[in-house]
Homo-oligomer: A and B are copies of this chain.
Amino acid sequence: MKKSNPPTIREIARLVGVSVNTVSRALNNKPDVSPETKKNIIKTAQLLNYTPNAIARALVQRSTRTIGMVMSDISDPFFGEMVKDAEVFFRSRGYNLILCNTQENFDQEKHSIETLINKRVDGILLTPVGRNGENLQEILKNRVPIVLLGRHFDEPIAPSVTSNDERGGYLATQHLLELGHHKILFINVFHHISSAHDRFLGYQKALREFGIDYDESLLIHASFDLDDVYQKTKKFFYQSGKVTAVIVFCDILAISVMKAVIDVGLTIPRDISIVGFDNINISSLLPIPLTTIDPNKKKMVETASELLLEAIRLDNIKAGNLSIEPTLTIRSSTILSV
């Protein structure tokens, strides 16, 4: 009186009068099944409203055709755009995506990875929280294919695909220096994030090359919180403030910085030039279109995804970082220094 479970190939087999094996082969378009029985099987399958149970299949085939994607915050357009590209890529290859937020939280990252392993995803795309692979021990032991996306570890213990962030930092700084800016504020996030670390390196390198001493009072550390960045920027300009340009870790925070600069009574780009990173979709459509470092997100995602599929196929994980060359996209937020 209680069973209304979904139909199975067994039921189809019974109704058609063949074995389950035949049904399985018919439904999977395998050879060696007569057109007639095949027709019958398909007909009754539709009749019963049969849907194959991917769970049962996954159990025997040891493949779920599912990829785990772990990143800090999907609501951040940078990640959202990457997730979208990844979803499109994997969908076209017959994979689905399980998404996990870490909120830059180490324990949450660890827990997410464990859950994904339990669910037997075929592979994992991870934007790691830290710069060492501590949370990856589990993964490496379990030999789950993994590729890091957008950030890498200090030691090459896992394959990763990132933007060449040092180069990006360099390009941003060089651009401003060439425009005549000498006092350049760098608003960064925590250095335990490899991209933050590397971009800052590029900034320093460019300064050095232009013979400008690095002034540590021109470095602000903020969190990913938009309001935090807003407040800190405002405070900086109220107190010290003698800069003509700002580099911000990413576009979304740069938007916050723009507002702070405006609210402090300065004009962009006349008084202050601003450069961001990521080239998110809206950056070009802001009232003051943002000059930014374009990491070529799509290429990053596709390279990483391709690599992951290869790791899945070959059951062979080769560590090391692959970096994609970024480009400088000049818009209206930067201008010659007066």
Q: Mark A105-135, 1 if CB is under 8 A from B, else 0.
A: 0000000001111111000000000000000
User: In the bound complex, do residue B49 and residue A141 qualify as a contact, i.e. CB atoms below 8 Å apart?
Assistant: yes
User: In the bound complex, do residue B66 and residue A75 qualify as a contact, i.e. CB atoms below 8 Å apart?
Assistant: no
- Of residues 256 through 290 on chain A, the ones whose CB sits less than 8 Å from some CB of chain B are 256, 258-259, 262, 281-282, 285-289
- Of residues 147 through 190 on chain A, the ones whose CB sits less than 8 Å from some CB of chain B are none
User: In the bound complex, do residue A6 and residue B142 qualify as a contact, i.e. CB atoms below 8 Å apart?
Assistant: yes
- Contacts A49-B141, A97-B99, A259-B285; is A75 near B83 (CB within 8 Å)? yes
Closest to A315 in B: B4
Contact residue among B62, B226, B258, B285 (Cβ-Cβ distance under 8 Å from A281): B226
In the complex, A198 has a CB within 8 A of chain B: no
Which residues of chain B come closer than 8 Å to A81, judged between CB atoms? 75
User: In the bound complex, do residue B64 and residue A142 qualify as a contact, i.e. CB atoms below 8 Å apart?
Assistant: no
User: In the bound complex, do residue A55 and residue B96 qualify as a contact, i.e. CB atoms below 8 Å apart?
Assistant: no
User: In the bound complex, do residue B59 and residue A56 qualify as a contact, i.e. CB atoms below 8 Å apart?
Assistant: yes
Which residues of chain B come closer than 8 Å to A119, judged between CB atoms? 54-55, 64, 66, 96
In the complex, A100 has a CB within 8 A of chain B: yes
A138 to chain B, nearest CB (A): 8
For the complex, would chain A's binding face be called helix, strand, loop or mixed by DSSP majority?
A: helix
Q: Mark A200-215, 1 if CB is under 8 A from B, else 0.
A: 0000000000000000
Q: Mark A52-71, 1 if CB is under 8 A from B, else 0.
A: 11111011001010100000
In the complex, A223 has a CB within 8 A of chain B: no
Closest to A81 in B: B75
Contact residue among B4, B101, B117, B230 (Cβ-Cβ distance under 8 Å from A84): B101
Which residues of chain B come closer than 8 Å to A288, judged between CB atoms? 287
Contact residue among B80, B101, B141 (Cβ-Cβ distance under 8 Å from A88): B101
Which residues of chain B come closer than 8 Å to A258, judged between CB atoms? 287
In the complex, A143 has a CB within 8 A of chain B: yes
Q: Please state the number of chain copies in the assembly.
A: 2
User: In the bound complex, do residue A51 and residue B287 qualify as a contact, i.e. CB atoms below 8 Å apart?
Assistant: no
The distance in angstroms between the C-alpha atoms of A99 and B79, with both chains bound, is: 14
- Of residues 31 through 87 on chain A, the ones whose CB sits less than 8 Å from some CB of chain B are 49, 51-56, 58-59, 62, 64, 66, 73-77, 79-81, 83-84, 87
User: In the bound complex, do residue B118 and residue A52 qualify as a contact, i.e. CB atoms below 8 Å apart?
Assistant: yes
The distance in angstroms between the C-alpha atoms of A84 and B56, with both chains bound, is: 30
- Contacts A49-B141, A75-B80, A99-B87; is A285 near B120 (CB within 8 Å)? no
A52 to chain B, nearest CB (A): 6
In the complex, A252 has a CB within 8 A of chain B: yes
- Contacts A99-B83, A101-B84; is A142 near B51 (CB within 8 Å)? yes
A176 to chain B, nearest CB (A): 20
Chosen A-B contacts, 25 in total, with CB atoms closer than 8 Å, are A4-B143, A49-B141, A51-B114, A54-B118, A54-B120, A55-B59, A55-B119, A59-B59, A64-B119, A66-B119, A75-B83, A75-B281, A84-B101, A87-B99, A87-B100, A87-B101, A96-B99, A97-B98, A97-B99, A98-B99, A99-B99, A226-B285, A255-B282, A259-B285, A286-B287
